[in-house]
Structure 1
């Protein structure tokens, strides 16, 4: 039971979906039982996904799911992936030559965008106060949506300089040791993490909700419900972006807050190692490095100030 529970819920759902798709394809195409899968079955399936036009990231996830299922079933060897990787590499090249983007990424929430989104939250309503907290703390914490929805009230403590937020477990904290992330007070009243937290916890206190999850669902007449799910955070962020009228609003997700925190910190010349620790990334994370390169393309542009 604990072994099954050790896999993050989102990963478990995605891998189950991918494995079911693989077994259905095997049945439909005359391949023998998929465990253990042969190298030929593996490469044929990857070729099928590429021919069907799936995104490379989706194909990589399918490959990971197949390997994982072999490991969990007790097979010491997994389908040999060299040929499958060659198929995927060629598929990426074809997509690039055809002008297709390698990976669709949620736009980062910059400070002007954050201010516009918070302005779109009506602070005279309970839902507006809650959504402001999600936006402000999500960016300042560089939080994953799983980390945000799992925050308890007791995990956030006000200090003289801001908030100490305990992340009890996360994607990169495999042993669930936990870590305290310090979030400083803000300079702008509307986007101050401390003020946003105080406003929301005051509402929870008035409702008699002194413990449990920090972020809650809201029902009719502003009654406080159970904790939010990860999908709800996506919907809230996207909804705020749409109401604020920011460009590409439909593409915003919870990850926009995490990406935005890293982006604005690096633009403010915060060292990469500090950003990685604050956001719970590996210092060599390719995702983090993509955010940094996006800033560097303009900050260290070879054509800046050349007199064009």
Structure 2
């Protein structure tokens, strides 16, 4: 035995047998969080449930629902998957290196910081649980990008579609007295008064509305800042004629036997509702309009009415911005605007984005400066 190396050994008393190593089934399953009550034995692998295939199956209905809400079907994930294919990388689940490299690809394109953050968040969300990439390296890249690309920090807010712009848009939509114009005019008036995010507007059902003579009562299940349901009272305004326009649209639907389901729907050229319509791009929407459709219609009627913005982009969000701006220009308080637009009570958006700019637009300190060569009495 001299010179032999003892790798592992345990001393035992003469005649005592070595304990047999635990089998896989009998191996204790414990960690620092295990708690045993008096009389309980150590849990082992043998105590685990023995699952069968039946425990792992989901129904056809569940599978269909999950497929419709598959996060890998979002636009950013589609682009990410195509980029991965082009570079010989696996998109799902992706590695941290792939995730980080794609972030650099987006930055090389000069995208806005807010856009990059949104895309990267959606991509990470789409990864399976427990297999999400580490975003610490991507955030280091983003911090450097923010520092060296000031223009990428600029947020281009939507052009506010205030009443002076909204009224000619609605009138233009109704000029030909066609159902699509009735739908769009109702959608424009309601979107402005509802201060709607377009996805909230197109997700509403007919049953969510109670149309009265001077107001519309809306039951809203949830929104971006509220997980609880809300009952909202939208008083009409003489320039909106929201009630009249909404009733005309609902009567058009009722004439075709539609009194429940999606409020705003696709129409065929003859004005009939396209029942069962499924769009090429967003098939999961079914008979509900896509938010992008509202966006497209807002741009269309803004252009058709011969309106021109101040350089800010025209979009469906302009209805929400326009209503908030009108409130700000007419001395509504921060709280009143926050409640109307369903912002969080502590949100700074109403004051910074709508109230201050609206009030600043009403003031011109240079109006006090007299014209050269013209006395105060002559300015009239």
TM interval, shorter chain, is 0.7 to 0.9
Equivalent in 219, 229, 254 of residue 268 of structure 2: 219
Equivalent in 83, 104, 128 of residue 156 of structure 2: 104
2:158 and 2:312 in contact (8 A); partners too = no
> Structure 1 residue 109: deviation in Å?
0.6
How big is each residue's C-alpha offset from its partner over 1:201-231, in whole Å with a ceiling of 9 and x where there is no partner?
A: 2222333322222212221322123442222
Choose 1 or 2 for highest CA Rg: 2
Q: 1:78 to 1:133 in 2, by over 3 A?
A: same
1:26 and 1:34 in contact (8 A); partners too = no
How big is each residue's C-alpha offset from its partner over 1:58-80, in whole Å with a ceiling of 9 and x where there is no partner?
A: 2112321243245x4225x8514
2:76 and 2:122 in contact (8 A); partners too = yes
1:272 and 1:283 in contact (8 A); partners too = no
Which residue in the other structure is 1:276 paired with? 338
2:146 and 2:152 in contact (8 A); partners too = no
Q: 1:237 to 1:143 in 2, by over 3 A?
A: same
Stretch of structure 1 that moved more, 191-200 or 219-228: 219-228
Equivalent in 111, 118, 143 of residue 61 of structure 1: 118
Taking the aligned partners of 2:236 and 2:109, their CA distance within structure 1 comes to 49
Q: Is 1:84 the equivalent of 2:142?
A: no
1:95 and 1:102 in contact (8 A); partners too = no
Stretch of structure 1 that moved more, 116-125 or 27-36: 27-36
Q: How many residues align?
A: 295
1:235 and 1:253 in contact (8 A); partners too = yes
Q: 1:186 to 1:113 in 2, by over 3 A?
A: same
> Structure 1 residue 286: deviation in Å?
5.9
1:136 and 1:192 in contact (8 A); partners too = yes
Which residue in the other structure is 2:298 paired with? 237
Which residue in the other structure is 2:201 paired with? 148
Which residue in the other structure is 1:265 paired with? 327
For structure 2, the residue ranges without an aligned partner over 5 or more in a row are 1-57, 276-286, 371-380
Equivalent in 173, 177, 185 of residue 121 of structure 1: 173
RMSD: 3.5
For structure 1, the residue ranges without an aligned partner over 5 or more in a row are none
Taking the aligned partners of 1:12 and 1:296, their CA distance within structure 2 comes to 42
Q: SS in structure 2 opposite 1:211?
A: coil
> Structure 1 residue 57: deviation in Å?
2.4
Q: Kindly indicate whether structure 1 or structure 2 has the higher relative contact order, using CA contacts under 8 Å at least 6 residues apart.
A: 1
Q: SS in structure 2 opposite 1:163?
A: strand
